[in-house]
Amino acid sequence: MHKCILPFLIFTLLTACKQEKKEITVTGSLPATIKYAEGFSVEKNNNLTIIHITNPWPGADNTYTYALVEKGTDIKKLDGIDAIVETPIENIVVTSTTHIPSLEMLGETNSLIGFPNLNYISSEKTRQAINTGNIKELGKNEDINTEVLIDLSPDAVVGFAVDGNNTTFATIQKTGIPVLYNADWTETHPLGKAEWIKFFGALYGKQKEADSIFNTIEANYLSAKKIAAQATKTPTVLSGAMYKDVWYLPQGGSWAAQFIADANGRYLWSDSGGTGSISANLETVLEKGKEAQYWIGPGQFTSLEQLAETHTVYTQFDAFKNKNVYSFTNKKGGTGGVLYYELAPNRPDIVLKDIIKILHPDLLPGHSLYFFSTLE
């Protein structure tokens, strides 16, 4: 419900609290520091925080503006706001596993009360909350059970979208429950994805904690990158695999390619530009990647045997012959969710250390592979 203040929520905020309220103005806001993320910005003004979502999905013309207002604050002259949230929030519904680590790092796991398709969640801590019934199943992301969600009455729903045609979110908004878009998945720099913890920090009134957590991740990442730069060799890297006779692999501007570059590896398709994936024919990939020293991220394959059985051409690559094929698909949670999909966007420092360990084994003697493993 773009560019529209929710009447029910405004009425609630203006009338529900009978105690004396603090009044605010919206002029003179100071921007918070966002260093890598390109999809959002934050402005602070005393007890008011404004979040601007500038890239809710790839190629979007829409932008969204959310007002986070401290409880007990009077609202005045807030124009062009898409949702208003009283903070700090006490309970929340999120819709992507990438949101889970932010809640955990901020110490707010107990605030999560609903999630679509709980089996995707890998975290042991959050799974414990699921097993005790504290987090309700909401169906599938593309078909959320709105009746259950509305009964839960969360302070906010954090969603994501591939376009602007989400009728489920519109239905939820009409009940007065704020829906906020989180576009961490559109970021192309590894640290840009991780910086979205500041989005959640604002919701919980934990901006300082979020800044501190991110600063530590950033420092770890940059330190690892500096160590990788000391390597005397730059190994060649292949990625992706075939699906229905089309080989899909990351484009040169993608976050996967950035990891390889920062680990001092030479991704063979680094000059392709773009931030999505490349659709290539087998002959092209075989010609260019046959002698690649490492193969990182071979789709959903979990063993060399599975690769060979699917297509014998895979056995022709040097990385296959030398058993230098590494995948993140074997590290899963108790119900089958892939750990990498959930945690990697939030902990790029660990991902980078993994790839450095793969490409330059001697540079990080104290690090053991966390997300990746060698295909046997």
Residue 318 reports pLDDT greater than 70 = yes
How crowded is residue 171: how many other Cβ atoms within 10 Å of its Cβ?
15
Closest of 325, 332, 254 to residue 289, by C-alpha: 325
**Overall average pLDDT of the 49-66 stretch:** 92
Burial class (CB in 10 A: 0-12, 13-18, 19+), 77: exposed
Calculate the average pLDDT of the chain. 89
What is the band of 44 on the pLDDT scale with cuts at 50, 70, 90? confident
Helix axes 207-228, 255-262, angle to 10 degrees: 50
Residue 276 reports pLDDT greater than 50 = yes
DSSP at 272 = G
Closest of 16, 13, 6 to residue 176, by C-alpha: 6
Residue 362 reports pLDDT greater than 90 = yes
Quick check: bond before 101 cis, omega within 30? Answer: no
pTM of the predicted model over 0.85 = yes
**Overall average pLDDT of the 177-187 stretch:** 95
DSSP at 374 = E
* Residue, of 168 and 152, whose pLDDT is higher: 152
User: What is the model's pLDDT at position 313?
Assistant: 94
Q: Residue 332: CA atoms inside 13 Å, Cβ hemisphere, count?
A: 10
- Per DSSP bridges, beta strands 30-31 and 143-144 are unpaired
User: What is the model's pLDDT at position 148?
Assistant: 96
- Alpha helical stretches, state H, 229-362: 255-262, 282-289, 304-310, 318-321, 339-343, 348-359
Q: Which structural domains are found in the chain, ordered by start?
A: 7-218 (3.40.50.1980), 229-374 (3.40.50.1980)
Q: Could you give the CA distance from residue 213 to residue 45 in angstroms, rounded to a whole number?
A: 22
Going 83 to 142 to 102 to 188, the CA torsion angle's sign is negative
User: What is the model's pLDDT at position 117?
Assistant: 94
**Overall average pLDDT of the 160-181 stretch:** 89
User: What is the model's pLDDT at position 167?
Assistant: 86
**Overall average pLDDT of the 92-110 stretch:** 97
pLDDT (tens digit, 9 = 90+) per residue, 211-223? 999 999 999 999 9
**Overall average pLDDT of the 230-251 stretch:** 95
Per the DSSP assignment, residues forming a β-bridge with 298 are none
What is the band of 288 on the pLDDT scale with cuts at 50, 70, 90? very high
Burial class (CB in 10 A: 0-12, 13-18, 19+), 194: buried
Burial class (CB in 10 A: 0-12, 13-18, 19+), 30: exposed
Give percent above pLDDT 90 in the chain: 80
**Overall average pLDDT of the 19-24 stretch:** 40
Give percent above pLDDT 70 in the chain: 91
